[in-house]
Amino acid sequence: MPSADLNLPDAKSHKPRSRGAGIRQPERTRQAILDAATAEFSSRGLGGARIDAIAKRAGTNKRMIYHYFGNKEAMFLAVLENAYEHIRSMESELHLEDMEPAAAMRKLVYFTFNYFVNNQNFVALLNSENLHRARHIKQSRRVQPINHPLIETLQRVLGRGHEQGIFRDGVDALQLYISIAGVCYFYFSNIHTLSTIFARDLMAAKALKTREAHVVQVVMGYLRP
């Protein structure tokens, strides 16, 4: 349930936007496999995922999967890279550096929360990779270049906010982003247990809006001088 007044980019799936009818068939096949693998890995984890099931979801055969990705673990890494690339590309569309610092920060927090609302696959994939102690993502040459620009942008926004006297001094952009992601991620990674032990449907529309507002208040409250 993204906040309509923020004009947030649509973050409802990990599928990249269509590049038109001119896209080559090998690219379509590879992306179909990636989408199918994302669904399979997020629902069953790396250990439970099956190549046969991914092939069936993608409408292809195992030979094509091995042709594009080599093996299941390499495909899992490609899925993780694709997931990170998707959220970072969506964040870049927020154009945070074109906004006033306080508005930019609110928009980032709203976006992050609603990204997890609409991309439960991402939460599941992160859970799975953390069980493996980041064994696969450590092999990636792309993941750091994909993720670093966000922190650099955030540091510049924080610097402008401090210069204007609306943000406290000495805020580390990486620590702040981990906190933003953490207060959003924990809610969804533990949504089932939290809903059960507190006897409340935390995925209900009202509960989501309440949590969204709380997260924004927490972050903006911390940033005040």
CATH code: domain of residue 40 = 1.10.10.60
- Please report the pLDDT score of residue 17 as a whole number: 46
- Please report the pLDDT score of residue 1 as a whole number: 44
- Residues 6 or more apart whose CB falls under 8 angstroms from that of 15 comprise 31, 35
106 shares a domain with 65: no
- Please report the pLDDT score of residue 13 as a whole number: 52
Token pair in block for residue 25:
């068939």
CATH code: domain of residue 161 = 1.10.357.10
7 in a structural domain: no
Q: Helix 143-163 to helix 173-189 angle, to the nearest 10 degrees?
A: 110
Can you give the residue range of the structural domain that contains 185? 74-225
pLDDT tens across the length of the chain (225 residues): 444 345 566 555 555 444 444 558 889 999 999 999 999 999 999 999 999 999 999 999 999 999 999 999 999 999 999 999 999 999 999 999 999 999 999 999 999 999 999 999 999 999 999 999 999 999 999 999 999 999 999 999 999 999 999 999 999 999 999 999 999 999 999 999 999 999 999 999 999 999 999 999 999 999 999
Any idea which residue has 């379509």 for tokens? 28
Closest CA to 98 of 7, 177, 14: 7
Count of domains forming the chain: 2
- Please report the pLDDT score of residue 26 as a whole number: 86
199 in a structural domain: yes
Distance CA 106, CA 83 (A): 23
Closest CA to 136 of 53, 67, 17, 37: 37
